[in-house]
Structure 1
Amino acid sequence: MSRDTIVLDHIGTLEAAALMRGGRLEDLLVDVDAPRPGTIYRAIADRPIKGQGGMFLRTPDGPAFLRQVKGLAPGQALLVQVTGYAEPGKALPVTTKLLFKSRFAIVTPDAPGLNISRSIRDEARRDALLEIAHGEMGGEAMGLILRSSCDGAEAAEIAEDIRAMADLAAAVMADSEGEAEVLTEGDGPHQLAWRDWTAPADVVTSAGGFEQEGVLDALEVLSGAQAPLSAGASMFIEPTRALVAVDVNTGGDATPAAGLKANLSAARELPRQLRLRGLSGQITLDLAPMAKKDRRQFEQALRAAFKGDAVDTALVGWTPLGHFELQRKRDRAPLETALP
């Protein structure tokens, strides 16, 4: 298998990063003019929302909304972290459960304990990582998660990463009093690429890398609603203000199994399309006609496809009209906001 290629470039003036796999665009990160997920504020409680169990907060970047507040009074300062992009006209979604995340380590101030990614199964390696974790976090009350990228990494790199995140977390947690302020910015696309795309890859940083590596050609295809599927089938992906509508068509195939084949192809391709287009929220699939007995096979294919996707997606289920619904976390901005 050929190595992945990571391309660090810009779309217009916006920082962007692309992951190419076998010559195909697999993932895309684009910066936008909005607070990034991961940004940490010292915010000020403003006003509670009766009946919703939440409260609006004041931040330097506008109002934020915190769910499930308890014992929080207007005027009180607190530390919060942006969890995703806000819908148009709505407040920033935030949480008080802060995470300090890097390539190898995630420091969790409110969740003590040392944990290692379950994908690292070699007991000797897990013991070695625990030894590093204890060496760096032994005197800390904060928690630590060592990510799957630690498997095969140098001990010195992991230790340095843990120290950097622990020091940052300690500094931020000690700065909880005062007026509303941005304490840390969320990571931009280039930093996120280094942090999360950890498989061996060739890295292209030269200007014009998107054009040289075929990213711009892929973006031109993504600018349209139609996404091709196997055997001449296709799906149309169209965001509205309320939800994202996905319509699956069989194309010229008129055989009895055409609907199931098109739907299975759509299930395999859907995570990639949503990821590249930066689409999230409520998603409704209007599938090609298929027998009810084939629904389980479709659900299994959809579940397997989303299992490897980085964005949290809940498979909600079937509607009375036979549509299938999903709910996807808004941790990426729509690509349409970045395209010229």
Structure 2
Amino acid sequence: MLVNVQRAPTGVRKRVAIVEEGRLVEIYFECPERPRLVGNIYKGRVETVLAGLGAAFVNVGEKQSLFLSQHEINDAILISKGFEPWKGPPPIQKILRPGQSIIVQVRREGVGTKNPQGTTKISLPGRYWVFLPKEDRVAISRRISDQNEAKRLRQIAYELKAPGEGLIARTAAAGVPKEDLERDFKFLLGTWKGIEEQAAKVSAPTLLYRNPDLVKTMVRDRFTEDVDSLIVDDEAEYKEILHYLHYLHLDKLRGRVKLYRGTMPLFVRYDVERQLREALQRRVPLKGGGFITIDETEALTAIDVNTGKDIRHRNQEAAILNTNLEAAVEIPRQLRLRKISGIIIVDFVDMASKADERKVIERLKQELRKDRVPADFIDVTKLGLVEITRKKEGESLAAMLESLEEGF
């Protein structure tokens, strides 16, 4: 994990890059021009109720109001209004009215002219748990495949939470001692109690809780024992990271945090700048001489795999298989790096062998499982096209860079 900090009179800009085996796989930005709102919790005021859309706009004191769908109204609110949630959401005009105060959380940043999206289904992420104060359920990260461990975590969750509350065990919770899990839960519960107390004292619109900044969020969510090192090029940020690790009771990871003092810029030293530029190109080369092309449209993303050179005088089947296997690794990487979401259609080079097709699909599934954002292989169509879906989480890399008022 690489952390680049740029300090200027206009504010502090931060970039966090995830590098695996020398290859850039994810990158995140934070800058004054585009403050991050996702995760923030507000006491908002309902401005407009749109019965036809089944939604409302909520003023939270930011530049844009939150768009709140009726499907994002939590069960506790519905029950308090006399409705039965299991029967489906009632008309939104029967739940909300203009001028009403309501606690909301930003679930998705605004994109272009679209308003940010809100929810009343509050979630507070910690190191090991996600606390759901208004949802009565327990869930386990899908990345925890050990059924005995999942059972242990589920049992602990039910011991910790009160009726009406929910807990999701995060991937990092696997194998963690019970006392550490309890500490994390108590911290989240205390945070929520503080939010409720403040909400009772203030008028809307007011910010009740600000999500930690980009670097702290990445340290909390992504800096695990699987990460070899976290290298940061700013001394103040370095000290802040060490302090935050102590705050999280993760002193065992402090030795993996390194302060970079080189004369060459950190992102140049680790080849991030070049790979970031390449991530905006349509054509992506493969090691064996082939390439893939990526075309993003509003409806879907089309990815075409090509051998890239004359293979008539080689073992064609072996050459095609090798190209497709390389593409099956590169495509999931590009989806993560470019933050591509929605429907993805992949046209691999035609293979004569069903066994080769199975090898390519299995490699693709294996690489998709590395993605923290849900990305799923759906099917192979009758035309031999591979269908993939990936959950949308904010803007694509291209849109994000384009919308920044000033580049890094």
Q: Which amino acid aligns with 1:280?
A: S
**Correspondence list, 1:118-157, <5 A:** 119=144, 121=146, 134=159, 137=160, 141-153=164-176, 157=180
Contact 1:233 1:249 in 2 (8 A): yes
Structure 1 residue matching 2:288: 3-state secondary structure: helix
TM-score, normalised via structure 2 length: 0.67
Contact 2:140 2:150 in 1 (8 A): no
Q: Which amino acid aligns with 2:135?
A: A
Q: Which residue number in structure 2 is paired with residue 60 of structure 1?
A: 61
Q: Which amino acid aligns with 2:168?
A: I
Larger radius of gyration: 2
Contact 1:44 1:74 in 2 (8 A): no
Instruction: Determine whether 1:170 maps to 2:193.
Output: yes
1:183 pairs, out of 192, 203, 208, with: 208
> Over residues 161-186 of structure 1, what are the superposed CA-to-partner deviations in whole Å (9 max), with x where a residue is unaligned?
22221112233345278423333233
Q: Which residue number in structure 1 is paired with residue 276 of structure 2?
A: 219
**Correspondence list, 1:198-217, <5 A:** 198=224, 199-207=226-234, 208-217=265-274
Q: Which residue number in structure 2 is paired with residue 277 of structure 1?
A: 338
Q: Which residue number in structure 1 is paired with residue 41 of structure 2?
A: 40
286-295 or 105-114: bigger deviation: 286-295
Q: Which amino acid aligns with 2:61?
A: P
Q: Which amino acid aligns with 1:202?
A: S
Q: Which residue number in structure 2 is paired with residue 9 of structure 1?
A: 4
Q: 1 CA distance for matches of 2:376 and 2:156?
A: 36
Structure 1 residue matching 2:65: 3-state secondary structure: strand
Q: Tell me: CA distance 1:14–1:327, structure 2 relative to 1, closer, same or farther (3 Å).
A: farther
- TM-fit CA distance, 1:127: 5.2
> Over residues 130-152 of structure 1, what are the superposed CA-to-partner deviations in whole Å (9 max), with x where a residue is unaligned?
56984xx3667522233232345
Contact 2:45 2:60 in 1 (8 A): yes
- TM-fit CA distance, 1:235: 1.3
- TM-fit CA distance, 1:128: 8.8
Gaps in structure 1 of 5+ consecutive residues: 1-5
Q: 2 CA distance for matches of 1:224 and 1:322?
A: 26
Structure whose residues are more often strand by fraction:
1
Q: Which residue number in structure 1 is paired with residue 126 of structure 2?
A: 102
Q: Which amino acid aligns with 2:207?
A: V
Instruction: Work out the percentage of aligned pairs sharing the same amino acid.
Output: 26
How many residues get paired?
A: 332
Q: 2 CA distance for matches of 1:331 and 1:124?
A: 29
Q: Which amino acid aligns with 2:304?
A: D
Q: 1 CA distance for matches of 2:19 and 2:292?
A: 22
36-45 or 320-329: bigger deviation: 320-329
Q: Tell me: CA distance 1:321–1:94, structure 2 relative to 1, closer, same or farther (3 Å).
A: farther
Q: Which residue number in structure 1 is paired with residue 252 of structure 2?
A: none
Q: Tell me: CA distance 1:139–1:325, structure 2 relative to 1, closer, same or farther (3 Å).
A: closer
Q: Tell me: CA distance 1:181–1:329, structure 2 relative to 1, closer, same or farther (3 Å).
A: farther
Q: 2 CA distance for matches of 1:301 and 1:36?
A: 36
Contact 2:42 2:208 in 1 (8 A): yes
**CA RMSD between the two structures:** 3.7
Q: Tell me: CA distance 1:120–1:316, structure 2 relative to 1, closer, same or farther (3 Å).
A: closer
Contact 2:365 2:376 in 1 (8 A): no
Q: Tell me: CA distance 1:273–1:102, structure 2 relative to 1, closer, same or farther (3 Å).
A: same
> Over residues 182-223 of structure 1, what are the superposed CA-to-partner deviations in whole Å (9 max), with x where a residue is unaligned?
332334331232122222432212234333333233323324
Q: 2 CA distance for matches of 1:245 and 1:42?
A: 42
Structure 2 residue matching 1:179: 3-state secondary structure: coil
TM-score, normalised via structure 1 length: 0.78
> Over residues 270-303 of structure 1, what are the superposed CA-to-partner deviations in whole Å (9 max), with x where a residue is unaligned?
2221212223234343443446967666544433
Q: Which amino acid aligns with 2:112?
A: P
138-147 or 99-108: bigger deviation: 138-147
10-19 or 201-210: bigger deviation: 10-19
Structure 2 residue matching 1:231: 3-state secondary structure: coil
- TM-fit CA distance, 1:306: 1.7
Gaps in structure 2 of 5+ consecutive residues: 72-89, 235-264, 402-406
Structure whose residues are more often helix by fraction:
2
Q: 2 CA distance for matches of 1:281 and 1:96?
A: 24
- TM-fit CA distance, 1:250: 1.6
- TM-fit CA distance, 1:251: 0.8
Q: 1 CA distance for matches of 2:56 and 2:320?
A: 46
Structure 1 residue matching 2:43: 3-state secondary structure: strand
Q: 2 CA distance for matches of 1:188 and 1:276?
A: 20
Q: Tell me: CA distance 1:300–1:53, structure 2 relative to 1, closer, same or farther (3 Å).
A: farther
- TM-fit CA distance, 1:39: 2.6
